[in-house]
């Protein structure tokens, strides 16, 4: 159980125990006591149900790319998961408000960049370290700014297909293709504006129990190289949470108990 689910479960349990104590310590009939306990029990169920599906931000644990620029510096795909050039770490920072800054001549550690091969042959792969139900991703596209010359935002990814594998796969394994996803935005073309994140909604693809993802690049914004600044994935943990009764079943059960109590009182 996650810390968030555990915390709410503890609070809900406290509510249940408090209600039980109140019911025992006050003069009230059995039906009223059962009703109070029913409300407390439902609170526990709904609290657990709400947190079990809470989305989290995932930073991949390993990467692989088709090519790495052989020019001086370090242009590997690990640069897209290390937080380099982000205005604040993600997580815990909110990716929707965090920007990427590619300013400078010696910024190879801020990006992944290919080595000049055919754009449509390029890919970047990610290992999440565990299985998740993927619902989306945040990307900060390539935005290397040269104080001496033009902005290189045309190196950024444009069209891309997505592939995935489950927890039994590997970075170099065979990916299940899901076709094209939303086009990546081009980074700002001036040397002043910082690059905002872009959210790519993947919820319609039903990416359950996913650990490995491949960005199969199709096109960029016009350069002979292609690259990416940073990426994070949005997911729901695939690890099962402790099972709780379906709310509808619990309601029916509690109503049945209340009916039995009421029937006994009428017989008396």
Q: Which tens digits make up the pLDDT trace of 147-184?
A: 555 558 999 999 999 999 999 999 999 999 999 999 99
Query: If you average pLDDT over each of 46-55, 78-87, 96-105, 137-146, which comes out highest?
Result: 78-87
Assess whether 150 and 29 both reside in one domain. Answer: no
Assess whether 71 and 201 both reside in one domain. Answer: yes
Torsion of Cα atoms, 69 then 71 then 72 then 75, to 10°: -10
Assess whether 90 and 152 both reside in one domain. Answer: yes
Assess whether 28 and 66 both reside in one domain. Answer: no
φ and ψ at 114, to 5 degrees? -75, 175
Assess whether 199 and 66 both reside in one domain. Answer: yes
Find all residues with CB under 8 Å of 202, minimum gap 6, and list them: 134, 135, 136, 137, 162, 181
Q: Which of 8-12, 218-222, 236-240, 254-258 has the lowest mean pLDDT?
A: 8-12
Domain that holds residue 29: 3-54+246-267
Work out the widest C-alpha separation in the chain, in whole angstroms.
94
Nearest Cα to 45, choosing from 2, 16, 88? 16
Whether this model's pTM surpasses 0.75: no
Count how many domains the chain has: 2
Q: Is the pLDDT of residue 5 over 50?
A: no
What pLDDT does 265 receive?
53
Band the pLDDT of 239: cuts 50, 70, 90.
low
């Amino acid at each position: 159980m996650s810390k968030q689910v555990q915390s709410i479960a503890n609070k809900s349990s406290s509510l249940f125990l408090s209600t039980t104590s109140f019911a025992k310590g006050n003069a009230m009939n059995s039906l009223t006591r059962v009703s109070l306990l029913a409300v407390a029990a439902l609170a526990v169920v709904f609290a657990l149900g709400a947190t079990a599906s809470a989305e989290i931000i995932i930073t991949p644990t390993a990467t692989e790319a088709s090519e790495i620029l052989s020019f001086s510096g370090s242009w590997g795909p690990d640069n897209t998961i290390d937080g380099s050039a982000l205005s604040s770490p993600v997580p815990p920072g909110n990716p929707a408000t965090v920007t990427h800054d590619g300013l400078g001549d010696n910024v190879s550690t801020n990006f992944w960049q290919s080595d000049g091969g055919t754009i449509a042959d390029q890919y970047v792969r990610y290992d999440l370290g565990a299985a998740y139900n993927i619902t989306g991703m945040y990307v900060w596209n390539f935005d290397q700014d040269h104080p001496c010359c033009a902005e290189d935002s045309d190196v950024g990814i444009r069209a891309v297909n997505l592939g995935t594998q489950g927890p039994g796969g590997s970075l170099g394994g065979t990916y299940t293709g899901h076709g094209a996803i939303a086009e990546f935005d081009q980074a700002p073309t001036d040397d002043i504006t910082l690059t905002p994140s872009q959210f790519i909604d993947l919820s319609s693809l039903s990416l359950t129990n996913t650990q490995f993802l491949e960005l199969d690049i199709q096109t960029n914004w016009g350069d002979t190289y292609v690259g990416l600044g940073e990426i994070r994935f949005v997911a729901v943990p695939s690890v099962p949470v402790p099972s709780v009764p379906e709310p509808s079943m619990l309601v029916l059960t509690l109503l049945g108990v209340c009916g039995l109590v009421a029937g006994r009182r009428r017989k008396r």
